[in-house]
Chain A
Amino acid sequence: MELLNSISWVAVSFHTLAAVVVISALLVVFSRNIVHSVFWLAACFISLAGVFMTLNADFVAMVQVMVYAGAVCIMVVFAIMLIRRRDMGDTNLFNGQTVAAAGVVALVIMLSGFLSFKSGVVVPPGPVPVNQVDSIATAMLTKYVIPFEVAALLLLVALIGAIFLAKEVKADADSDS
């Protein structure tokens, strides 16, 4: 009875969080002001952290809140402030390919849903170990140390590249625009 109660509670929270995720993602795409889009993006990321909590992935949920809802949204807002216009209305419009894009997306969703039901993997969830951070750290520094170092190198290269690209280029002789 206790197990049944806990399972239904997880299901209720998953369905609520999934509804919030889908609605805020739709508002990201369909709002006409790009600042509102970024705010709904932050809401979507935080509720996705809740979805990760229902999957017993506490560390990934924490990284999601810190990196996505903290860093990425702030960075996007700063970029919007650097290239802003006088009023922010109608800054996030659709181009002329909406119908074709909707067709492609409907095809992708139906195909992936069909394939995921056809695969037929029915595995009951096993017990998840409690000390996840220890296990993740051990795996990250022993077996997966090369992807870890490559990710660190990628962050360094991205940092240098972003600074180099966003820097003002003064002596630019190629002025064809």
Chain B
Amino acid sequence: MLTLTVSLYHYLILSAVLFGIGLFGVLSKKNAISVLICIELMLNAININLVAFNKYMTPGDFVGQLFAIFVITVAAAEVGVGLAIIIAIYRNKLSVNLDDFDWLKW
């Protein structure tokens, strides 16, 4: 009989799969906003790891959850600044395609 259990490894595998999906999007999407979205997916995978290790290794104190909240804060700041940069670039270049952003090429 197949018993359905959940352990630390389940959360680690879910986190690895979500990180991989986000990394695939970062490496292979054309739109700059889509790349930002996939970076958010990767940060969420890190949050799963932090909270899962908090529960399964040190369930008494809340350091993992605390740093998950800090990661959420940094992610919110990052997506705000990133979207502002994309809008500023779009005003100059009229494009959000990452292959067009080659001003710094020598």
Q: A166 — which chain B residues lie within 8 A by C-beta?
A: 83-84, 87-88
Give the residue of A8, A72, A101, A161 whose beta carbon is less than 8 angstroms from that of B24: A101
Number of interface residues of B (CB under 8 A): 76
Give the residue of B10, B27, B96, B98 whose beta carbon is less than 8 angstroms from that of A18: B10
In angstroms, Cα B93 to Cα A105, docked, is 31
Contact with B along A158-171 (1 / 0, CB 8 A): 11011101101100
A132 and B62 within 8 A (CB): yes
CB distance from A20 to the nearest CB of B (A): 11
Once A63-B72, A158-B81 are accepted as A-B contacts, the answer to whether A76 and B36 lie under 8 Å apart by CB is yes
Number of interface residues of A (CB under 8 A): 89
Q: A159 — which chain B residues lie within 8 A by C-beta?
A: 80
**B9 contacts the other chain (CB 8 A):** yes
Give the residue of A121, A127, A128, A135 whose beta carbon is less than 8 angstroms from that of B57: A121
B72 and A67 within 8 A (CB): yes
CB distance from A36 to the nearest CB of B (A): 11
Q: Is the interface of A mostly helix, strand, loop or mixed?
A: helix
Q: A7 — which chain B residues lie within 8 A by C-beta?
A: 5-6
Q: Which residue of B lies closest to A163 (CB)?
A: B84
In angstroms, Cα B40 to Cα A45, docked, is 10
A28 and B83 within 8 A (CB): no
B41 and A44 within 8 A (CB): yes
Q: B10 — which chain A residues lie within 8 A by C-beta?
A: 14-15, 18
A93 and B31 within 8 A (CB): yes
B70 and A28 within 8 A (CB): no
A72 and B79 within 8 A (CB): yes
Of residues 86 through 136 on chain A, the ones whose CB sits less than 8 Å from some CB of chain B are: 91-95, 97-98, 100-102, 104-106, 108-109, 112-113, 116-117, 121-123, 125-129, 132, 135-136
